[in-house]
Structure 1
Amino acid sequence: MIKYPFLEKGMTIGVTAPSSGVPSELHELLNSALKSMEKKGFHIECGDTPWTQDKAKSAFAKKRAEEFNDMMLNEDVNLIIPPWGGELLIETLEHIDFKNIQNKWVLGYSDISLLLLAITLNTGIATAHGTNLIDLRGDYSDDTTAMWQSVLSTKTGGSILQHSSKKYQKEWQFDKPTPHIFNLTENTYWKSTANHKVKVRGRLLGGCIDTIRHLIGTPYGDVQYFKNNYIAGDSVIWFLENCELSTTDLRRTLIQMKLAGWFNNCNGIVFGRSSANTPVANYTVDNVYKELSDELQIPIIYDIDCGHVPPQITFINGAFAEIEVDNGKGTVLQTFN
């Protein structure tokens, strides 16, 4: 049985950096994000790690883990949001106190998704794959990003519906800041390998494929244990997004996931938009999706609102979902049961 945290207005957000912290020259971004959350009515409990960054990490592994563990056990902290992702969260896993994970939301994406998936697989507690803290620093959020608060405020037994965005951001334009952070210029169009209306149902699991793939073969990535203990044989929908992989590296990773049994009893896979997916020779990402769909005999939906090409829908690891795409538009209905 999945356990779902619940977010209420006025709760306290714990800010810690289990992956990358914010270098001094960008501290204004973090300060702006903290002030923005306070304006939304939240209280802030900020650790030391968000303010430091050296050698591709906020601090050494034990310090990052200890700060996260402390916030998890702190009864005054109700929700944990790292400033953003990074590169080396995996160093902290052996120091995370998984036996004492509390029923409180952890929200993030990119390298943070490694921790999110590990928490859900090992504890059955739902985690939230969505916006990071830095991207909540604007005066207001676009409709897609803003849904994070409604999703995390859904009660156990309740459902929440999200829609595909109208437009997405093609590239980051830091020299052209806007009150809503993202520069949404390109028309969103969800696709599928079936080229017709597609609907898939199942339990959500996923994250940034660059990083969650490193859970395979470790004690923190036992998907079968999760299925046996928390979802009573329900099928799974994997949501994945590619940050930096070429098409051949993506293909190798998907094959590894298949051989490890991660795609057993899988009803469908959805992929986020990506600025990576670099073709190797004439091997394109469309080839990757088609081959995987044919091999697994399941639909593949892609170019959805998930990951490093914002905005993104808030996906809940462990929730039961119905994902539908028709004529470029999509919906994600999540039920917290």
Structure 2
Amino acid sequence: MKRIIAPPFLAPGDRVALVSPSYHVPMQAVEGAAAVLRGWGFEPVVGAHVGRRWRGSYAGSPEERLADLRAALEDPSIKAILCNRGGYGTIRFVDTLPPEELAAHPKWLVGFSDITTLCGMEARAGVMSIHGPMGKFLAKDRGAGKSAELLRGLLTGTVPEYALPPHPLSRPGVATAPLVGGNLSTFVPLLGTRADATAGREILLFIEEIEEDFRHIDRLINTLRLHGVFDRCRGVILGQFTGCEANLGYDSAEDLVCSYLSDYDIPVCCGFPAGHEAENWPLLIGARSTLAVTEAGATLTFHVRGRRTRA
């Protein structure tokens, strides 16, 4: 993976694009997200095709969705790109949005779930991104809550240092490497493509999932193992596994994943509050980071210049 740069942090009055690269979002939610951005002191700019529908669920055709993303990237007055929601569809951009375009316009891109694809593409292009709350969720809570405040701070240069309580399945150790990953069902199909951020020689891998049964999770974890991804891992962070159907005799999704990680001498942090739940603490994808796990708990530190805050 290329040397990663952090895009410039935002200042009051900066313009933030609202785009929908995946599924459709009602305009009421987009307007709510825009109101939150205004309350934070930014100027929201809604993509030209936001609000469109294509084939039922998509927020416009692939060409329309890509056009909005490109417009936000290429506009020098846009300082950050906030995705409205995930769903499905960003895999269409892996071979239509070259990494050179992302590298030429380094700016903060924010999202999770299906936006994991774009975060992987950014990392491979050498640009950090933010795995964190999207427009739909900011609108729902009107920008309130810890996750939103952490995102606001991060966009303006306040870098969190996370401290977590102990978890019975966590494994002790210390590791430093670029942080990559996101939604398991989204990034595993990208293995071997130019959106594959796990291709680095040393990585910290973050995993979260929603509404998948354990057989599918087991299949994806084995896919990572067979591709040698865990051989490159210096540590693993397990986030939320929301609504995942328990089977195969495991007590939890963390129990399933950790049964494979026991073969590797690496620290494992379980229970990180990021994923598809109300608490979705922002993570700096691509940033060189240190995970430290002890019996007393875990810490995650991003090696990025900025003001520091303990979270």
* Number of the residue aligned with 1:89: 90
> CA separation of 1:335/1:303 partners in 2, compared to 1, >3 Å: closer, same or farther?
same
Equivalent positions of 1:1-337 (< 5 A) are 1-9=3-11, 10-23=13-26, 27-54=27-54, 55-101=56-102, 102-121=105-124, 123-137=125-139, 138-154=141-157, 160-164=160-164, 191=167, 193-194=169-170, 198-221=173-196, 223-224=198-199, 227=200, 235-284=202-251, 285-325=253-293, 329-336=297-304
Contact 2:40 2:152 survives alignment (8 Å):
no
> CA separation of 1:288/1:148 partners in 2, compared to 1, >3 Å: closer, same or farther?
same
> CA separation of 1:50/1:330 partners in 2, compared to 1, >3 Å: closer, same or farther?
farther
Q: Which amino acid aligns with 1:2?
A: I
Larger CA deviation: 37-46 vs 49-58: 49-58
CA distance in 2, matches of 1:12, 1:217: 35
Equivalent position SS for 1:336: coil
Provide structure 2 residue ranges, at least 5 long, that are not aligned to the other structure: 306-311
* Number of the residue aligned with 2:308: none
CA distance in 2, matches of 1:132, 1:325: 29
User: How does the TM-score come out when normalised to structure 2?
Assistant: 0.86
Contact 2:150 2:160 survives alignment (8 Å):
no
> CA separation of 1:219/1:286 partners in 2, compared to 1, >3 Å: closer, same or farther?
closer
Provide structure 1 residue ranges, at least 5 long, that are not aligned to the other structure: 165-188, 228-232
- CA RMSD in angstroms comes to 2.3
User: Shift of residue 200 of structure 1?
Assistant: 3.6
CA distance in 1, matches of 2:48, 2:296: 44
User: Shift of residue 112 of structure 1?
Assistant: 0.7
User: Shift of residue 47 of structure 1?
Assistant: 1.0
Larger CA deviation: 88-97 vs 247-256: 88-97
Q: Which amino acid aligns with 2:280?
A: Q
CA distance in 2, matches of 1:221, 1:141: 33
More strand by share: 2
CA distance in 2, matches of 1:211, 1:139: 28
> CA separation of 1:300/1:45 partners in 2, compared to 1, >3 Å: closer, same or farther?
same
CA distance in 1, matches of 2:269, 2:235: 8
Q: Which amino acid aligns with 1:82?
A: C
Give the length in aligned residue pairs: 297
Contact 2:17 2:47 survives alignment (8 Å):
yes
> CA separation of 1:300/1:248 partners in 2, compared to 1, >3 Å: closer, same or farther?
farther
User: Shift of residue 49 of structure 1?
Assistant: 3.0
User: Shift of residue 21 of structure 1?
Assistant: 2.2
Equivalent position SS for 2:242: coil
Contact 1:65 1:92 survives alignment (8 Å):
yes
Q: Which amino acid aligns with 2:72?
A: M
Q: Which amino acid aligns with 2:288?
A: F
> CA separation of 1:28/1:194 partners in 2, compared to 1, >3 Å: closer, same or farther?
closer
> CA separation of 1:56/1:133 partners in 2, compared to 1, >3 Å: closer, same or farther?
same
Cα deviation, 1:246-301, whole Å, max 9, x if unaligned, reads 12211211121122232233111111122233222423424413322212232322
CA distance in 1, matches of 2:155, 2:280: 15
Equivalent position SS for 2:123: helix
